[in-house]
Structure 1
């Protein structure tokens, strides 16, 4: 299965179904016991989260949030970059990373196009006034300037940033090409910042990206006595500060690569107030196109906010949650998956329009019932059913490894690692996972590594979460190659990037991301999850393993 997942010789979901065939035939598990692994509580959490994301996309609530944030941050290049990054990261916490990237890139392109045009027009007016004042005509270029102009023109042609000017003199053309080149370079940085922010933002919530859900499922499968140590609130408490820190340092690195550390240039970019107003108007026009918030949008927003609040307060950890108080203080009857399915089912019950009081339409005929916020046909089209099967295949693989004794054998073979400090093991494993995920999907990477990491942790008597959480987040640090993750591929094609552009920016971010993850797990992570001690629920699991 690992070989098939890495090479993708057959679809990933089909590979995930192999335990249904091979475990019974090899006498490892009965077919019924295998099939039960394919639809667990983690799958329900994933389905519920996706239904909310589909509803948000269906009624374009995510676009309204994005444009509203950009209206707040303004159009200065540095602020614009952090505005796009923070908005994309926030959206990818709740909707798919690909959808957040695909939505934000055209908005960024339109704003940069307007900035380029207004700055070019301002320069043209300045040079025209200077020429009129001095009574001089524009002079011809030297040969070296002509060669430089050809190089600039070639690079500018690769970008969609174009300037329309009336002046066709040689020096005006040279200025136009330099301006296009500058904004083509800026567009590359902006596109990379958006796709990277999508991957970083998805790590902040339990439903933000699939590896997080896989971790919860694997923990519950391998350590059934863990007491729900990983839930929405606990994950957010650890991962959100980690995400913010990673996002901030990513912004600084991309700022250095594409804008430099000239604060006047970065935060002002040499544009005048008129240029800023015209570019700002582009964003304002985008917001006006959305019109007033509809009844359906308002309903989706309310359900979304209630869902997040219920997730946070179900079992916050420091006080008894509402699920414990209302249902049972000893057993966990209600989980995050229960809440997700309950709230997402409301999309199929609540109408998308306010029904008329008398049941009559404007022409007096009986009014038809308004359509719900979500229709099942739309869900069938947008729901990634293959990922749900892939999740189940990972749980089946872990269950079979436990029952067959493979987990114990793997753990015993990794006992020599006891001589290495835990923090060094964690850094090394994160680097391996971060490099592996560049060539394989983060879902496959997490599914393959987590059971092995759990076995290793048990063997060398360290807290399983000490290595499993960092490696899960590291699986989302796919920054170097276009094929590593869908957001990278979208940005690569949209901005006409070169592989080397992405590799240079992504290599540093991979290293920075790994270091930040290890800083987080060794500081507030230790306090939150009590990582300094080997948990009793991991000991119980060992004794129950045949």
Structure 2
């Protein structure tokens, strides 16, 4: 009997992984019946499911709720362990005991799915949704592009700056989905203008001086055919122009997805891995004195983002447009027909938006207020508003409080300007007054729940929660301590080498797996390794977190890459070639950042007491 063809077997791939992954790993908890082994068993299964995506990522993230309690790794709800005067211990779930002294506690698995970090993420996303709803992000993008200009180099730089800035505050996917159609419209208009100019030249038999031709060396022995009007043959010129046009299209579209991934690293709420780090720091080191907050993260990551963005722009400029300053920068030249067409497209799109509306202005004010509250809550060098205005505010108030506060205001503030009606109205406008009185004073709010429910990425919220549950279970079960003990020999390796190697590993791994899942799986391991060799946990966790966003090589690596790839300008090979260098640039910038300005911001030269106390527990 002939062997089965491998292709039909692929039909059973998902079923086989779902069934055999738990069965093949089953000897682990059976032969080693400890909490550490049981926790590792669930984590490995989740890692396999996350990497293969045989079931949705969010569904895999719910596994701890079921299997941690069943295997005795962790309780579904929080409990506290008490010791009575008689010496016996009482296990309580909630409540309090006056006749007992608390010994230890445990936060249940279910509570990890909506903790402080997830509330910060939800609040930030609600504000981002309001920005998207009122097209404020598009107005900002078009205004910046019109200011920077439409010379090829400046146009690419403008696309990257706008995309990176917007990606700092709203999702990378939404930013890319908004920017790529603008890029495509500009490219289409430039192409149409070039075709019109070519047809005009063919009709008149003259060369338009606006279209620049490459100069040939007089000593070039290659023969050039000459036709009656003295022009270079159309076939030769059109072939070169088509190649150049393809390269420009590739560069202009790639710059958007790369800038979206880079920009998301600059703020704490910019992308999922950043929130994973924040949450896992709170889980693994509860006494860390809020070392990772919005202000400290921005001070470290924003300069790194600027450096990466500049190097990425130079790399894409060199790869797809070359360093012809006259053509790319337009030094000492007038605008070509293509550049005028691009400018007109941007201007027409801006005109469609009209003047800034009352709703847009309100959203802009709320957005600016949120950023101000985040920066000034705990700036580090002076007392923030949390400690000045509220007793013990620094202890109780986190970045999630202002995020949710602004989100609440967005559901209250009106989208239209309220109309004040005086009691003594003139007789001439009685009908209008009566009509206005029937209307509510506050019109429809800036945001309604249906919009939020439709646009909120709830899967990411569950994915973050699943990661926090894994980190907490690893710490409480003893798995993290066991891993740290196994990594003690790494103490002989220089810390900067460890950070660089780990960054490269994450940058490669995230090409095949969700960036949030990558950070969720690796950060607890990095934390255990850092505490075992007595280096600051953030020295390896920060590079690992940023590297999880360096998904530059494959269309499937991240949604922005997939969106750009769907427009058909680039091949997989084009993205791989550019992405390899982008990964190298990213790891270089992160290594530089963590060893320069990152040291004073997070005090990375010393092993913190809060990490030492956690290790000894």
TM exceeding 0.5: yes
**Matching of residues 230-269 of structure 1 within 5 Å:** 230-268=292-330
Is 1:435 paired with 2:498? no
Aligned partner of 1:101 in structure 2 is 176
Aligned partner of 2:534 in structure 1 is 461
- CA deviation after TM superposition for structure 1 residue 390, in Å: 1.1
Please give the alpha-carbon distance, in whole angstroms, between the structure 2 residues aligned to 1:39 and 1:100. 26
Question: 1:337-382, CA deviations, whole angstroms, 9 ceiling, x for partnerless residues?
Answer: 0110001111100011113323999594322552110010111111
- CA deviation after TM superposition for structure 1 residue 328, in Å: 3.0
Per the normalisation by structure 2, the TM-score is 0.79
- CA deviation after TM superposition for structure 1 residue 268, in Å: 2.8
Aligned partner of 1:403 in structure 2 is 476
Aligned alpha-carbon RMSD (Å): 2.4
Please give the alpha-carbon distance, in whole angstroms, between the structure 1 residues aligned to 2:263 and 2:156. 15
Q: 1:55 aligns with which of 125, 130, 136?
A: 130
Aligned partner of 1:487 in structure 2 is 560
Aligned partner of 1:163 in structure 2 is none
Aligned partner of 1:10 in structure 2 is 55
Structure 2 residues without counterparts, runs of 5 or longer: 1-45, 78-107, 209-221, 224-230, 423-429
Q: 1:339 aligns with which of 402, 407, 420?
A: 402
Contact 1:259–1:266 (CA under 8 A) maintained in structure 2: yes
Contact 2:378–2:394 (CA under 8 A) maintained in structure 1: no
Q: Note closer, same or farther for the CA distance 1:402–1:79 as it changes in structure 2 (3 Å cut).
A: same
Runs of 4+ in 1 over 4 A off after TM superposition: 119-133, 169-178, 269-275, 359-364
- Of stretches 293-302 and 108-117 in structure 1, the one that deviates more from structure 2 is 108-117
Per the normalisation by structure 1, the TM-score is 0.89
Please give the alpha-carbon distance, in whole angstroms, between the structure 2 residues aligned to 1:351 and 1:241. 37
- CA deviation after TM superposition for structure 1 residue 220, in Å: 0.6
Please give the alpha-carbon distance, in whole angstroms, between the structure 2 residues aligned to 1:311 and 1:255. 36
Is 1:295 paired with 2:295? no
- CA deviation after TM superposition for structure 1 residue 276, in Å: 3.0
- CA deviation after TM superposition for structure 1 residue 128, in Å: 5.9
Is 1:506 paired with 2:579? yes
Please give the alpha-carbon distance, in whole angstroms, between the structure 1 residues aligned to 2:56 and 2:597. 39
Query: Of Structure 1 and Structure 2, which has the larger fraction of its residues in helix?
Result: 1
Please give the alpha-carbon distance, in whole angstroms, between the structure 2 residues aligned to 1:335 and 1:364. 47
Please give the alpha-carbon distance, in whole angstroms, between the structure 1 residues aligned to 2:334 and 2:321. 14
Q: 1:205 aligns with which of 261, 264, 267?
A: 267
Aligned partner of 2:343 in structure 1 is 280
* SS class of match (2:246): helix
Aligned partner of 1:41 in structure 2 is 116
Aligned partner of 1:89 in structure 2 is 164
Q: 2:464 aligns with which of 369, 378, 391?
A: 391
Is 1:227 paired with 2:289? yes
- CA deviation after TM superposition for structure 1 residue 479, in Å: 0.1
- CA deviation after TM superposition for structure 1 residue 181, in Å: 3.6
Contact 2:386–2:393 (CA under 8 A) maintained in structure 1: no
Contact 1:214–1:447 (CA under 8 A) maintained in structure 2: yes
Q: Note closer, same or farther for the CA distance 1:352–1:257 as it changes in structure 2 (3 Å cut).
A: same
